[in-house]
Amino acid sequence: DAGVIQSPRHEVTEMGQEVTLRCKPISGHNSLFWYRQTMMRGLELLIYFNNNVPIDDSGMPEDRFSAKMPNASFSTLKIQPSEPRDSAVYFCASSRTSGRETQYFGPGTRLLVL
Amino acid sequence: GDSVTQMEGPVTLSEEAFLTINCTYTATGYPSLFWYVQYPGEGLQLLLKATKADDKGSNKGFEATYRKETTSFHLEKGSVQVSDSAVYFCALSDEWGKLQFGAGTQVVVTP
């Protein structure tokens, strides 16, 4: 079975540009999570969806960040405009249902904003 | 709010040594507890989990026991291999599935 798929795996962009990160969860999973990993702050939950509906976006750093899940098999995380401090590894994870289920992580997108 | 504290690394060991990584948590409810492992350049993989007090999670020779009285979930392995070199994250999940991670502990196993 395919795991969580993320694209691109690496992204280098210049400050002020729009960045879109993509995620395809495991088929049949109803919950999707976006995390950010940095050396300074570790792993942080940005937002999560249940049945395509955003449930908690309290971790989204600011209005420059937005996330959507138009259907059960696709989600995007957008940063507009990007800033150097957004440089991080962004992970998408999915779980079968909401609650204390195991989350399965994608390989991550390594973002560098110059 | 909920939080997880784990020992700082790096932890450097020789092959076949005993590994312990301490993890304690603070939570208002009854969380599930997890250990995830991250190999270089990869995403996180579930190593083991426990969903209630006194449960023991185990996988690939690793074990951890959910201790409610000491709010701990220490990871142990009796004999590490070079291939166990990775970063290990302790995490708790609330009733909504939100994971709170510790800072991660890097483990380096030398031949």
pLDDT in tens, A28-67: 999 999 999 998 999 999 999 999 999 999 999 889 999 9
CA distance B82 to chain A (A): 22
CA distance B22 to chain A (A): 17
- The answer to whether A55 contacts chain B (CB < 8 Å) is yes
Give the C-alpha distances (Å, rounded to integers) separating A17 from A12, A13, A37, A47. 10, 7, 21, 22
Cβ-based contacts of B46 with chain A (< 8 Å): 102-104
Nearest residue of B to residue A90 by CA position?
B43
- The answer to whether B103 contacts chain A (CB < 8 Å) is yes
Rounded Cα distance, A25 and A28, in Å: 8
Average pLDDT over chain B, rounded to an integer: 94
Residue, of A2 and A87, whose pLDDT is higher:
A87
